[in-house]
Homo-oligomer: A and B are copies of this chain.
Amino acid sequence: MREHYHDELDSITDGLIEMANLVGSAIGRATTALLDADLQVAENVISGDAEIDDLQRDLEDRAIALLARQQPVATDLRIVVTSLRMSADLERSGDLAQHVAKLARLRYPEQAIPRDLRRTILEMGQLAQRLMAQTAEVLMTRDVDAALQMERDDDRMDELHRAIFQHLMDDRWHHGVETAVDATLIGRYYERFGDHAVAVARRVVFLVTGEQADDLLTEPPAIA
């Protein structure tokens, strides 16, 4: 019974890793679709989101079945409940990749992103994909240091997000309002994607250490 139980717990973690891998691939391809104005790749990301949604539902059903059958307590219970939250973060990340692909499709055959923002968006896309790969890694290894490193990588995402706004507000911006609106939304999608990847890693940190990632990152307060 116990052995079967741990198999079930492991299979839930495997499901989360599979979701993270699919979502990481989706954001990578969505970035390609966006920057190359590639309709085929965009359609592929858009239709592929259903698989991620199915995985989430399947994972949720299995988590509930495990709760009902095995009635875990303490740490194991927290792992199962947390896995439900993590699967919701991953499912939402998949939606965000789909949003990027939909914007590429909407502007096709035009480029949604003008030349002077392409480098920033490319870096955001690559960072998003890398963050999600790290999330998969952290889910697998439970490596707290790797999870905390992700917080720093996500700071770079926030910097890039701000760089987009600064560029849009620059007097030299001459691509008009439609392109500014597109860039605003795309920037927000990547930034939220990073947040969800980090949120999953934070939950792993909490499961492993019992402490919030924030508390592990900040220096202890000086004695007054």
Residues of chain A touching chain B, judged by Cβ–Cβ distance below 8 Å, are: 60, 63-64, 67-68, 71, 73-74, 77-78, 81, 84-85, 88, 165, 168-169, 173, 177-178, 180-181, 184-185, 188
Contact between chains at A73 and B77 (CB < 8 Å) = no
Q: Which residues from chain B contact A185 at a C-beta distance below 8 Å?
A: 184, 188
Q: Which residues of B contact A67 (CB under 8 A)?
A: 67, 77, 81
Q: Choose one: B71, B78, B168; the contact of A181 (CB below 8 Å).
A: B168
Question: Which interface residue of A63, A81, A88 has the most chain B CB atoms within 10 A?
Answer: A81
Identify A81's interface contact among B64, B173, B177, B184, CB under 8 A: B64
Closest Cβ neighbor of A78 among chain B residues? B64
Partner of A165, one of B74, B81, B173, B181: B181
Which chain B residue shows the least CB distance to A69? B73
Docked pose: A185 CA to B187 CA in angstroms: 11
Copies in the complex: 2
Residues of B with C-beta under 8 A to A165 = 181
Contact B64 A68 (CB under 8 A): no
Whether A177 contacts B168 in the complex (CB less than 8 A), given A71-B71, A81-B67, comes out as yes
User: In the bound complex, what is the Cα–Cα distance between A78 and B168 (angstroms)?
Assistant: 47
A181 to B180, Cβ gap below 8 A?
yes
For residue A181, which residue of chain B has the nearest CB? B184
Interface centre among A64, A165, A173 (most CB of B within 10 A): A64
Closest to A167 in B: B177
| For the complex of A and B, 3 pairs with smallest distance between CB atoms | A71-B71, A184-B184, A68-B73
- Point out the residues of chain B lying under 8 angstroms from A188, CB to CB: 185, 188
Give A62 Cβ to nearest chain B Cβ, in Å: 12
- Asked whether, in the complex, the Cβ of A169 is within 8 Å of the Cβ of B178, the reply is yes
Cα distance A169–B176 in the bound complex, in angstroms: 9
Q: How far is the CB of A197 from chain B (nearest CB, A)?
A: 16
Q: What B residues does A64 contact at CB under 8 A?
A: 77-78, 81
